[in-house]
Amino acid sequence: MNQTLDVRGLTVRYGGVTALDGVGLTVAPGELVGLIGPNGAGKTTFIDAVCGFTRATGTVRLGHRDLTGRRAYARARAGLGRSWQAADLYADLTVRENLAVGAYRPDWRRTLAEVLRGRARHDERVAELLGIEDLLDRPADGLSAGQSKMVDLARALAADPGVLLLDEPAAGLNTAESRLLATRLRTVVDTGTGVLLVDHDMALVLGVCDRIVVLDFGRVLAEGTPREIQDDDAVIAAYLGRTARGDRRGKGDRP
5-86+161-240 CATH choice from 3.30.450.20, 3.40.50.620, 1.10.10.10, 3.40.50.300: 3.40.50.300
Instruction: Note the pLDDT of residue 254.
Output: 34
**Average pLDDT of span 175-181:** 91
Instruction: Note the pLDDT of residue 114.
Output: 54
**Average pLDDT of span 120-136:** 83
Q: Of the candidates 4, 25, 21, which has an alpha carbon nearest to the alpha carbon of residue 12?
A: 21
Q: Where are the beta strands (DSSP E) in the chain?
A: 5-14, 17-27, 32-36, 57-62, 65-66, 80-82, 163-167, 194-198, 211-216, 219-224
Residues 140-155 pLDDT 10s: 998 998 899 999 999 9
* Segments making up each domain of the chain, as ranges: 5-86+161-240
Instruction: Note the pLDDT of residue 100.
Output: 87
DSSP 8-class letter at 142 = G
Instruction: Note the pLDDT of residue 111.
Output: 54
Answer yes or no: is pLDDT of 255 > 70.
Answer: no
Answer yes or no: is pLDDT of 47 > 90.
Answer: yes
Answer yes or no: is pLDDT of 104 > 90.
Answer: no
Instruction: Note the pLDDT of residue 242.
Output: 53
Instruction: Note the pLDDT of residue 253.
Output: 42
Name which residue leads in pLDDT, 169 or 238.
169
The band of 248, judged by pLDDT with boundaries at 50, 70 and 90, is very low
Q: Give the distance, in angstroms, between the CA of residue 39 and the centroid of all CA atoms in the same chain.
A: 17
Instruction: Note the pLDDT of residue 249.
Output: 46
Instruction: Note the pLDDT of residue 86.
Output: 85
Among 39-43, 102-106, 210-214, where is mean pLDDT lowest? 102-106
